Every structure is written in C-alpha cells, then in structure tokens.
Amino acid sequence: MAGKKFRVLYLGPQERGTHNPASTDPQSRAVREVGGEFVPYTGSSEGELIEALKDSDVAMAAGHRFSPGLFSHMGNNGRCKGLVSFGHGFDGMDLKTAVENGVILANTASFGTEEVSNQTMMHFLVCTRKFVLHDKLVKRGIWTREHLAPMGHVAGETFGIVGLGNIGRAVARKARAFGLEVIAYEPYKSSWDAKEYGVELVGTLDELATRSDYVSIHTYLNDETRHMIGAAFFNKMKPTAYLINCARGPIVDEKALIQALQNKKIAGAGLDVFEKEPVDPGNPLLKMDNVSVTNHYASYSEVAWERANTQLGEEAVRIALGYWPMSLINPDVRHTVEPRKDAVEWRVLKAKLKGK
C-alpha cells in the first residue's frame, strides 16, 4: 500500500488568480504524507477539466463550481472515482447524477460543529435577552426599562431542534448546560440514540413548534427540507417563541417568517442565513429590532477552516485508495460501484499505509 501512487486534482476557488502553493498546505498535507501526487488545476474551461479528471484518481473542490455533466467522465466511466467538496452543505451537488455514474461524493462535515453550535447559542441569547433592541436604545442615549417584558427565564424552558446531526447534537449539549429541556424532530435517528444526548424525540414538526420556546434549525437543504419551516409552522409556535437558523436560508419560507414577525405570531428570530445571499439591503428582516442577523459565517474560525481543508485531503486519500470516505453524502452510490474498504480514522489509515 505504501508504494501505491495516486493523483489528486485540486480545484481551488475560481475567483482567485494564479495558484499559490503556500495556500494549499493543509489541503495537500494528507496526500503528501502518504506519497500521493497533489495537482492544482490551472485550466479555465470544462474541456480542460475533463482532461484533467482523466489523469486523476479523485478530485477535491474548494469553492470551484462543478457541473453535474462532469460526472459522466468519472466514477464508473473513468479513472477519477470521486469528488470531495469543502464545507457542511451539499445542496449544490447533483447527488442523483453522481449515483447513476458511480461517483463517490464526500464533504468536510463536522469541521465547524463547535463554531456553528456556538453561533446558534449566541443568537439564542441575543434573542431571549432582546439584545438588538436594547443595544440600539442605549447607543441612542435612551436608558429605559419599558421594553423588557416579555422575556424568557431560559432555565426550564424548551429548546426545539430540527435535525440531530453533528451540529444539532452539539447544540443540544450546550442548550442543556443552560438548563433548557431539549426536544428534537429527527426522522432518521432512533429514540435511544437521542436519549444518549439527553434529547426527547418528537413525532412531528407540529409538536415541536407547539412545545418549543426556541426552535433551532440544523438540517441540510434538499427537496424534502426546502421551505420545511413555513406559515403552518409559525402558526403553531408560541407568540413568545423564537426561531434560530444557522443552517441554510431556503429551509425557511422567508416571506412567511417576515409575515409571522410582523403579525407578532412569534417573538423574534436569530439568522445567520437567508434565502437570497448576499441579503438584499431592503429585506424587512434587517430593519426589525427583534431579529439578530449575521452574514453566514457561523462555521468560521481559523482552527475550523484549517481542519476543513485538512479533511479535504484526508477524504481524497481514502477515495483514491479504495476506501469509503468518512463523510459520504450520497450513500446510494454503494449500490452502483464496486465494493470498497470501510472508512478508517486518518491516523490509523496513515500508519497502515506507511506500514507501521
């Protein structure tokens, strides 16, 4: 294994200019550690990219657009067996086409779990303590206690989570530290697994909406979850409850959210994401004193970004050498490709490949 040569094609951000070798140290680290060849892509056309894929065992994309048509030159149709993309989300990927062509897709899930869960709890505190409004008042020279009520006690209140993946579980852990009761809607997890995290699973979104004092979204975006949170959901929420979204903007029907806030159906919202990004400066959400907003940076910290880029290389090595990736995002591809070895933790795999 140690002597097996493989080639990894790196597709960097398209907005950048000439490739800077110093900027790809974390992305290439795992590849170099086990003797692979790391090749930055320098072409500018789809035809050039197709040619580059023909000579690579796997590709990694860090902010580079990737057309679904390219999958017909990969997987069962060529040397390049998979694509690893930067980040948590994969709504920009055509999973169905990848499966049909036997292309293995992975991402760098978990790299920013702590950051996103921290951002969630920040929005939660900003909302429940009415920080946006009172920060503005004090800065305008207004010292008043007229706008305090209603204000949640937090301890003993109910925190509802939509999606109990890596980030959802981290949020649950932190919410419990505040003394919150945690419930979650997660159709793809068992009740006994949720119990390990001190979370009660509920059977419907309606129940979660009805019971929660705070609702936080932590699911991926696909056809099933687009506009999952809309007018019907807001009508079920308490008028004193808050919505927090640090996942993907289109999971929430933004027009319905604006109407719910304007009609006082809910107390407020904390948002890191929007349906349209960059957000329109005229968006009513930006003018509301009961809405906290950030510009889709929840997953960022220098440590997290370094980890994500390092994971790109680790997943690329796994795919190139016949292993499943840790963060497989199109599991149905298992039925359209030749059998592979199970995913192995990086330090163990590296020692194995080096014969130690």
Mean pLDDT confidence for 68-77: 97
Structure confidence by residue, pLDDT tens digits, 325-335: 999 999 999 99
User: Percentage of the chain surpassing pLDDT 70?
Assistant: 96
pLDDT band at 15 (very low <50, low <70, confident <90, very high): low
**Which residues are part of the catalytic machinery?**
248, 277, 296
pLDDT band at 259 (very low <50, low <70, confident <90, very high): very high
CB atoms within 10 A of CB 236: 18
What does pLDDT average to over the chain? 94
pLDDT of residue 2: 44
pLDDT at residue 76 tops 60: yes
CB under 8 A, 24+ apart: contacts of 300-308? 300/112, 300/115, 301/112, 301/115, 304/111, 304/112, 304/114, 304/115, 305/111, 306/26, 307/108, 307/111, 308/86, 308/87, 308/108, 308/111, 308/112
User: Percentage of the chain surpassing pLDDT 90?
Assistant: 90
Question: What is 7-111+302-353's CATH superfamily?
Answer: NAD(P)-binding Rossmann-like Domain (3.40.50.720)
pLDDT band at 4 (very low <50, low <70, confident <90, very high): low
Structure confidence by residue, pLDDT tens digits, 170-193: 999 999 999 999 999 999 999 999
Write the DSSP symbol of residue 292.
E
Structure confidence by residue, pLDDT tens digits, 119-163: 999 999 999 999 999 999 999 999 999 999 999 999 999 999 999
pLDDT of residue 87: 87
Q: Which among 79, 121, 86, 118 has a CA at the least distance from the CA of 102? A: 79
Domain with CATH 3.40.50.720 in the chain: 7-111+302-353, 113-293
| pTM, full prediction | 0.92
pLDDT at residue 299 tops 80: yes
CA-CA distance, 105 to 319, in Å (whole number)?
9
Count CA within 13 A, CB hemisphere, residue 151: 12
Element (H, E) at 124: helix 113-128
CATH of domain 113-293: 3.40.50.720
The Cα-based distances of 61 to 4, 90, 154, 272, 308 in angstroms read 23, 12, 42, 24, 12
pLDDT at residue 82 tops 60: yes
Structure confidence by residue, pLDDT tens digits, 217-251: 999 999 999 999 999 999 999 999 999 999 999 99
